[in-house]
Amino acid sequence: SGGEGKAAAAANNASGPIAIITPSPANVFFKSESDAAAARAKELGFEPLVLSHDDDAAKQDQLVDLAISRGAKAIVLDNAGADASVAAVRKAKNAGIPTFLIDREINATGVATAQIVSNNYQCATLGAQEFVRLMGEKGKYVELVGKESDTNAQVRSQAYNEVLGQYPKLVQVAKQSANWSQTEAFEKMETLLQAHPDITGVISGNDTMAKGAAAALKAAGKDIVVVGLDGSPEAIDAIKTGEMDATVLQPAVQMARSAVDQAQSYIKSGKTDHPEKQALDCELVTKDNASQFGVFARK
């Protein structure tokens, strides 16, 4: 019977812990991500070890250490900084543990087994282009940037500016960081409206800030273009109600699931049948197609 047991395990041949490390689940995006990964891992018979590094590279490093000492079979990681995470991932590799990056890439190749990311640059470009369209290629606008020490905030802002920069009639009158925070976005928006009452659009580094800005605009009785990024459920609702005009959905769930799937095949066969770098395209969400989307995935 013991033999049968082994056979069963072999047939299933996915077992042991998989570490799933993401930023704080207090942000619904990362929550859905790690939930999806964990769920998938369970389906495949892994023991998911769900951890959070709160965007603190030092803590991430400790968590990787722990994953190693726990003998994790693989690590699914949404990392805490393109450069600051390389060492941790390499450490895992040296310990013989494959790392499958999701959502954010790192500035090194050949270290992670897979980098399944929604191309932030492409996402932001999509959003920016829609913003241009909604603005009619002209008018004054404000950009809300995320935590400026985060790679993503930088990449997204860069993409925005490259697109919007091509339209001379689109004038950026202010650029402020709201540190990904709804409250800060609300207060900064209120204040900026005082300096620039004549703006006709706000483009934001993520949906949380976009929502904050939208609330401030609503309170000020202004109905202008608000574009976010992430495709969070709240944002999609806001688009339906017209508080926001567009966001860009990152396929968080899809990324997470395929990361686990690839982990399994790698553990089984030592390869993933995928290139290391896999960029999943984001999808533009507008009033027209909002109803087709659920939690970070098409319904």
Given the rule CB under 8 A, which of 110-118, 131-139, 189-197, 244-252 is the region that contacts another protein?
189-197
CA gap 111, 170 in Å, rounded: 41
To which residue do tokens 């920069």 refer?
Answer: 165
Based on the shown chain and the rule CB under 8 A, indicate whether residue 186 belongs to the binding site for another protein. yes
Based on the shown chain and the rule CB under 8 A, indicate whether residue 176 belongs to the binding site for another protein. yes
Given the rule CB under 8 A, which of 112-120, 121-129, 132-140, 233-241 is the region that contacts another protein?
233-241
Based on the shown chain and the rule CB under 8 A, indicate whether residue 99 belongs to the binding site for another protein. no
DSSP annotation of 27: S
- Burial (CB count within 10 angstroms: exposed 0-12, middle 13-18, buried 19+), residue 66: middle
87 or 279: whose CB is closer to another protein? 87
CA gap 261, 277 in Å, rounded: 16
> Residue 133 CB, nearest distance to another protein (Å)?
26
Q: Give strand ranges (E) for the chain.
A: 17-22, 47-52, 74-77, 99-102, 114-118, 139-145, 170-177, 201-204, 225-227, 246-249, 277-280, 283-286
86 or 279: whose CB is closer to another protein? 86
> Residue 124 CB, nearest distance to another protein (Å)?
17
> Residue 157 CB, nearest distance to another protein (Å)?
11
Give the type of residue at 255: M
Nearest by Cα to 102 from 125, 142, 74, 144: 74
Residues within the interface to another protein (CB under 8 A): 24-28, 31, 48-52, 55-58, 61-63, 65-66, 68-71, 81-88, 107-108, 145, 147-151, 154, 174-177, 179, 181-183, 186-188, 190-195, 197, 208, 211-212, 215, 218-219, 233-234, 237-238, 241
